[in-house]
Amino acid sequence: DRHPEPQFEPDPTKKTLVILGTGWGSVALLKKLDTENYNVVVVSPRNYFLFTPLLPSCTTGTIEHRSIMEPVRTILRHKKAAVKFYEAEASSIDPDRKVIKIVDNSEIQGATSETEIPYDMLVIGVGAENATFGIPGVREHSCFLKEIGDAQQIRKKIMDCVETAAFKGQTSDEIDRLMHMVVVGGGPTGVEFAGELQDFFEEDIKKLVPEISPRFKVTLIEALPNVLPSFSKQLIDYTENTFREEKIDIKTKTMVKRVTDTTVEAEVSRPDGGKERVVIPYGLLVWATGNAVRPIVKDLITKIPAQKDSRRGLAVNEYLVVQGTRDIWAVGDCAVAGYAPTAQVASQEGNFLGRLFNNMAKTENHESRIQELSSKMNLQAGDSAEAAHEIESLEKQLRRIKDIKPFRYSHQGSLAYIGSEKAVADVSWWNGNLATGGSLTYLFWRSAYLSMCFSTRNRVLVILDWLKSKAFGRDVSRE
Ligand code: FAD
Ligand code: NAD
């Protein structure tokens, strides 16, 4: 099915729908949307969709990064009507003039790298950025784990630490520091990354650098009393016990306050209520303390009076309309709809908007046809019976279409990989909940994530990567 991308020609009779972002929310919307009904324009600095659930596996080379990326142009090629894509960042939104400003911040720029795009309808799906809480040193010295580039950087740094630790005459303290991998944030991102790292150590590093491998250590730091706060107590205990067996050191009730190029400084709450300052030397530091609001969203919040109390993103109503606006919708991590910032929520929201917009277009088509028929009826009495019949049937359909229920999230469960071929799952099971952990859950985790992959191509690549790293070990070349 390698047909060329259809040509984009804006139709002045149709509304222009601008979609920001190519993440879980926006891509789910694009998948569902009948693009024939609108002039669709997509703007994102990333010209691909990223399957984030398998991103932690890219940090150690269990999965190669391109296996979880899907080019947006490939996705758009399959749409009925052409969609315009601009690889650019939206830098500001003007809700009064109904235009957005876009900037090409990529390495190569042409004579024009900044322009404006008008919209009739706007969907904001720009996600979130990494929270640092203004803690000094975090941005300068740690790696995040959100984008492909982050995973690549981590993969390089792990091996750089190991190779530097193996350098001739390295001091003992320095070997310990370099081989110490510290993860801050015990949410699912931090936990999954720590698990992957320990697997890498057990399955590959141990064999490849046996002389220094006993010094390899993973520490997970969490401010709260336990990791995975959103999972059930049973699974928290299971994860913490598994980590203990795997020799991953979990430091809970430990709040990082400052980061230098070689150390993490944290405040530990002691059982007697006192506080203690600790300094932890590290070779690699991965920062996974959750989400913060992107500047473009912050800026828009200041322009809409009804959003004055919004702190964590754009407050939306039950149809995902940004409160205080009529033609702006928001999905995913940048929207506050009362759900957790997950891929599951973002994709269901995107899917909902796709259906909503398809319905809105149908409604408009039906309404204009009804108008056309009724004016005809007044002019030509002869045809009126037929026209009345059609109007009746159109009105019936309209009532059905217009009866769009508000967005309701349906939780399919939470899954997380915790290393050594074990996973934890909180899933809805018929009418009850099932909390499970272990190797069977791991197989379930693998098949669930495989089935969720964007395309067959992604699915095949991921399976091949799993087989490849099992058969030959992970590729530790530092490129
Ligand atoms: P994103 O998917 O982050 O997409 C945002 C898009 O907007 C990107 O294309 C970005 O380039 C673009 N963008 C950014 N700024 C601009 C701008 N100014 N203008 C235009 N475009 C812009 N959730 C789960 O449910 N299950 C999981 O297993 C899971 N695993 C995860 C693992 C990791 C390592 C991470 C980091 C997250 C994970 N999540 C998981 C959470 C999930 O990835 C997010 O909730 C989800 O990506 C949110 O979707 P989104 O569409 O809001 O944003
Ligand atoms: P998170 O917000 O879930 O967890 C961040 C953790 O960092 C919190 O437990 C917080 O207490 C801790 N923290 C914050 N500041 C700290 C400090 N200074 N020192 C020590 N600890 C500190 O973040 P996340 O794990 O990146 O997840 C973000 C979102 O993505 C969540 O909604 C999550 O459910 C979703 N996600 C889901 C999966 C999955 O389902 N497998 C995987 C990754 C992410």
Candidates 30, 52, 333: which one to mutate for ligand 1, based on the most atoms within 8 Å of Cβ? 52
Mean pLDDT of the chain: 93
Q: Is 413 a pocket residue for ligand 1 (Cβ < 6 Å)?
A: no
Q: What is the pLDDT of residues 339-396, one digit of tens each?
A: 999 999 999 999 999 999 999 998 888 888 888 888 777 666 556 778 888 888 888 7
CA distances from 45 to 49, 83, 103, 217, 223 (A): 11, 16, 9, 36, 33
Mean pLDDT over 157-178 rounds to 97
Question: Which segments within 10-73 are labelled E, that is strand?
Answer: 16-20, 39-44, 48-50, 69-71
Q: Is the CB of 195 under 6 A from ligand 1?
A: no
Instruction: Give the rounded distance of the alpha carbon of 366 from its chain centre.
Output: 37
Atom in ligand 1 nearest the alpha carbon of residue 53: 30
Residues in the chain: 479
What confidence score (pLDDT) does residue 382 get?
59
Bridge-partner residues for 424, per DSSP? 416, 437
Predicted pLDDT of residue 393:
84
The predicted model gives 396-413 an average pLDDT of 84
Amino acid at 439: S
Most confident listed range (192-196, 365-369, 400-404)? 192-196
Is the CB of residue 224 less than 8 Å from the CB of residue 207? Answer: no
ipTM of the shown complex: 0.99
Report the separation in Å between the CA atom of 72 and the middle of ligand 2, taken as the mean of its atom positions. 28
CA distances from 126 to 88, 104, 216, 331, 348 (A): 12, 16, 37, 8, 16
CA of 12 to the centre of ligand 1 (A): 33
Nearest to 100 by CA among 133, 81, 132, 123: 123
Which tokens is 41 given? 């324009």
Starting from the CA of residue 136, give the closest ligand: 2
For residue 7, name the pLDDT band (cuts at 50, 70, 90). low
Say what the pTM is: 0.94
Q: State both tokens at 239.
A: 């994860």
pLDDT, one tens digit per residue, over 84-133 is 999 999 999 999 999 999 999 999 999 999 999 999 999 999 999 999 99
Mean pLDDT of the region 36-65: 97
Beta strand 121-124 with 16-20: parallel, antiparallel or unpaired? Answer: parallel
Q: Residue 14 has what pLDDT?
A: 94
pLDDT of residue 15: 95
**Helices 343-379/384-402 angle, 10° precision:** 160
Shortest CA distance to 284 belongs to which of 262, 260, 308, 315?
262
Nearest atom within ligand 2 for CA of residue 288? 26
Binding-site residues, ligand 2, Cβ < 6 A? 53, 135, 184-190, 192, 221-224, 229-230, 255-256, 288-291, 340-342, 414-416
What does the CA dihedral 349, 352, 356, 357 come to, rounded to 10 degrees? 70
pLDDT at 337 over 80: yes
291-335 per-position pLDDT tens digit: 999 999 999 999 999 999 999 999 999 999 999 999 999 999 999
